[in-house]
Amino acid sequence: MTRTFPAPLLRRGLMAALFAVMPLAAAEPEYATIRMEIDVARPAQVVWAKVGKYCDIREWLNVDCKITSGDGGIGTVRVLAGGRVAEILVAQTELSYGYTQPVKDGQFYNLYHGFMEARPVTANTSRIIYTLLLDVSDKPDRAAKDADIAGRKTRFEAALANMKKIAEQ
C-alpha cells in the first residue's frame, strides 16, 4: 500500500528536515576582512621555510597542531587547540597558503578563512601578510563586532611578531 501526503504537509516536512541539517547562517551576513602585515629582514623563501609549514602555527601562535589527514598539500586538515578547531588547506603556492574552517552542526557558520603569504620586497627582505575573513553578523551590536575583530587582530599581530622573530634568527 502506498501512502500519500498532501503537498503542503510534505513541503513543510521537507523544509523542516532541510533546516535541521543546514548550518546556522545569517540572513544578512556582514563580512569583516582583517589584513595584517609585518616586514622581515630575510628573503621570502627563508621566511617561508621557517614559518610556512601548515603546522608551524604551533610555534608562532602558541597552539597545539596535529595533521589529521593529508600530506601538507591542498585538502590537508590540521586540528588545533586540543581538537576544538579544524582547518582545511584550500589554497597553496610556493610562498602562501589559505585555509577555512568547516561548518559545525548547530553552530553559527561564520565562513572563517585565513590566508598567509611571505611576499618578497627586495632580494633580502620580505613582508608577511596575514588576512582573515569572517562573518560577524552573529554579534548583537557594533561594539561586539568591533571587539571580536580587535581581539583577532591583536592575537594575529602577536603571531606576526613571533614569525618575524623566528624568521630573523
Residue 126: the pLDDT is: 98
Average pLDDT over residues 64-70: 97
Domain limits of the chain? 32-168
Q: What is the pLDDT of residues 10-60, one digit of tens each?
A: 444 444 444 444 456 667 999 999 999 999 999 999 999 999 999 999 999
Non-local CB neighbours of 72 within 8 Å, separated by 6+ positions: 53, 54, 89
Residues 33 and 100: their CA atoms lie apart, in Å, by 14
Residue 23: the pLDDT is: 52
Q: Contact 139/24 with Cβ under 8 angstroms?
A: no
* pLDDT(138) > 80: yes
* pLDDT(150) > 70: yes
% of the chain beyond a pLDDT of 70 = 85
Residue 21: the pLDDT is: 47
Average pLDDT over residues 159-165: 98
Which CATH homologous superfamily contains domain 32-168?
Answer: START domain (3.30.530.20)
Q: Contact 119/109 with Cβ under 8 angstroms?
A: no
